[in-house]
Amino acid sequence: MPKDIDAKESGIGAASKRREDIRFLSGTGNYTDDINLNGQAYVHFLRSDVAHGRITSIETAEAAAMPGVLRIFTGADFEGVGSIPCGWQVTDRFGEVMQEPAHPVLAQGKVRHVGDPIAAVVAETAEAARDAAEAIELDIEELPAVVDMKAALAEGAPKVHDDLTSNLCYDWGFVEDNKAAVNAAFEAAAHVTSLELVNNRLVANPMEPRVAVGDFNRATGDSTLYTTSQNPHVIRLLMGAFVLGIPEHKLRVVAPDVGGGFGSKIFHYAEEAFCTFAAKALNRAVKWTSSRSEAFMSDAHGRDHVTKIELALDADNNFTALRTDTLANMGAYLSTFAPSVPTWLHGTLMAGNYKTPLIYVNVKAVFTNTVPVDAYRGAGRPEATFQLERVIDKAALELGVDPIALRRQNFITEFPYATPVAVEYDTGDYVATMDKLEEIADIAGFAARRAESERAGKLRGLGVNCYIEACGIAPSNLVGQLGARAGLYESATVRVNATGGIVVMTGSHSHGQGHETSFPQVIASMIGIDENMVEIEHGDTNNAPMGMGTYGSRSLAVGGSAMVRATEKIIAKAKKIAAHLMEAADADIELKDGQFSVAGTDKSVAWGDVTLAAYVPHNYPLEEIEPGLEETAFYDPSNFTYPSGAYACEVEVDPETGKVSIARFAAADDFGNIVNPMIVDGQVHGGIGQGIGQALLEGCVYDENGQLLSASFMDYAMPRADDVPFYEVDHSCQTPCTHNPLGVKGCGEAGAIGSPPAVVNAVVNALRSAGKDVTHIDMPLSPARVWAAMQG
Return residues touching another protein (CB under 8 A).
Answer: 130, 134, 293, 656-657, 659, 696-697, 699, 701, 709-710, 713-718, 780, 782-784, 787-788
DSSP state for residue 655 in the 8-state scheme: T
Residue among 585 and 709 whose Cβ is closer to another protein: 709
Nearer to another protein, 686 or 699 (CB): 699
Angle at which helices 750-769 and 381-399 pack, to 10 degrees? 30
Of the two residues 290 and 510, which places its CB atom closer to another protein in the complex?
A: 290
CA distance linking residue 675 with residue 158, whole number of Å = 52
- Beta carbon of residue 698, minimum distance to another protein (angstroms, whole number): 9
What minimum distance in Å lies between the beta carbon of 291 and another protein?
A: 9
Give me the helix-helix angle, 677-692 and 750-769, nearest 10°: 50
* Residue 267 Rama label (left phi>0; alpha psi -120 to 50; beta): beta
Instruction: Name the minimum Å distance from CB 687 to another protein.
Output: 21
Residue type at 86? Answer: C
293 or 673: CB nearest another protein:
293
Distances (CA, A) of 424 to 419, 420, 606: 6, 9, 44
- Secondary structure in 3-state letters for 11-59: CCCCCCCCCCHHHHHCCCCCEHHHCCCCCCEEEEEEECCCCCEEEEEEE
The amino acid that residue 115 corresponds to is G
- Residue 387: closest CA among 491, 305, 462: 305
Query: By C-beta, is 448 or 788 nearer to another protein?
Result: 788
Rounded to the nearest whole angstrom, what is the least distance from the CB of residue 783 to another protein in the complex? 7
- Least separation in angstroms between residue 512's CB and another protein is 23
Q: What angle do CA 23, 29, 35 make, to 5 degrees?
A: 165
Run of H or E including 191: strand 191-199
- Asked if 585 and 505 count as a contact pair (C-beta separation under 8 A), the reply is no
Q: Please, what is the minimum distance in Å from the beta carbon of residue 543 to another protein?
A: 38
Question: Would you say 61 or 718 has its CB closer to another protein?
Answer: 718
Pick the closer one to another protein by CB: 186 or 787.
787
In angstroms, give the least distance from the CB of 708 to another protein.
11
The CA distance from 393 to 406, in Å, is: 9
CB-nearer residue toward another protein: 133 or 395: 133
User: Which residue lies nearer to another protein by CB, 617 or 783?
Assistant: 783
DSSP conformation class of 474: -
- Strand bridging mode 502-506 / 534-538: parallel
* Residue 481: CB minimum distance to another protein, A: 42
* Cβ nearer to another protein, comparing 219 with 721: 721
Phi, psi (deg, nearest 5) at residue 123: -145, 175
Q: How far is the CB of 662 from another protein (least distance, A)?
A: 14
The C-alpha torsion from 171 through 173 and 174 to 175, rounded to 10°, is -150
Nearest to 659 by CA among 772, 765, 785, 761: 785
Interior/surface letters 695-708, b for 16+ CB within 10 angstroms, e for the rest: bbbbbbebeeebeb
Name the DSSP letter for residue 179.
Answer: H
Nearest-approach distance from CB 706 to another protein, in angstroms? 15
**Least gap, CB of 716 to another protein (angstroms):** 6
Residue closer to another protein, measured from CB, 718 or 770: 718
